[in-house]
Structure formats: structure tokens, C-alpha cells
Amino acid sequence: MKNLLSKRFLALGVIASLSFTACQKAETESNALQSNKKDAEMNVIGSAANASAIKGLISESAAARMQETYKKNYTGKNYTEHVVFNIEDLQKYLDQLKKTYNSDKVYVYFGQYDGVTAPSPSYNGRISVFFLGNNKRSNSGNFRSQNVGDSTGVPGEGSNYLNHGTIWP
């Protein structure tokens, strides 16, 4: 009877040991899967966070509706549907605004070409846009100023204005 009892305890011990080892292995695999799942979720969340970090994004339908409303209200020989800017030029401009003018904002202004400002005679009277950074290094405190910090405002030091896009139509 004693022999039978010790064999049962031995068998129970072996089963418990195997079960414990199997549970640990399953838990480790489960943790690895959860870790991978969390990593994947973090990538999705990270992507969403990056997109949501851009304030002001609108839907395609909202953009289309705004464009249609604009077309209804602004017509005629001076009509401009859109202005196209090169991304590389915009990035360089934004970098310059940060470095040279310590700008943290960009204003988008609407303007109209005249005989002096039109890049070609066919643009005379056309509507366009231009960008302006808020110059935080201006001696006068005027963010429109080209004068940067202690500089003399010598032409060619840079500009916190940008307008060279292609207008259509």
C-alpha cells in the first residue's frame, strides 16, 4: 500500500511538473503573441496618431463641397481654381522660416496680380496666394518684416514671403 501511494504521488508530481512546464511555455508564447499584437497595434495607433497630429485635415467630400461652393461664387476672367507649389520648395521655405525667422506659424494670404507683380501678362488680374511666416526675430516686432534679429535687412538674406506657384486655369 505504501509503495502504491508513493507511485501515485510520484505520478502526480510528474504530471504537475509537466503541466507547470506546459503552462509556462504557453504563457511565454502567449506573451510573445501579445507583444507582437501590441507592437502591431502600436504601429496602427502610431500611424493614426501621426495623421491625427495634423490639425485641420478634412475629408475628400468636404474638400469637394468647398471647391464647388468656391466655383459658384467666384467666376470671371480673373478666376483661379487652384495654385500649385512644389513640395521641395515648400519644405525649404518652411525650414528657412524656422531657422532664419524663428517662425512657428505660416499665413496664407490671397492676392491679385497687377501690371507690376504678374509673372506674365496673362496673369494680370488673376487671384493667387502667397505664404508669410511670423517673423519672431524682427527688431521692430513686425512679423511681416524681412529684418532678422540684429541683421541689417540686406536683400538676399532671405524672405518670409513665398509666391511662385502655378495657377490654373
Residue type at position 18: L
**Collapsed DSSP state (helix, strand, coil) of residue 66:** helix
Mean pLDDT for the stretch of residues 30-54: 52
Q: Give the per-residue pLDDT at 77.
A: 81
The confidence score (pLDDT) of residue 47 equals: 45
Q: Which residues pair with 108 in a beta bridge?
A: 131
84, 128 contact by CB (below 8 A): no
DSSP SS3 for 65: helix
Q: What is the pLDDT of residues 76-117, one digit of tens each?
A: 888 889 899 999 999 999 999 999 999 999 999 999 999 999
| Average pLDDT of every residue of the chain | 75
Phi, psi values for residue 168, rounded to 5°: -140, 140
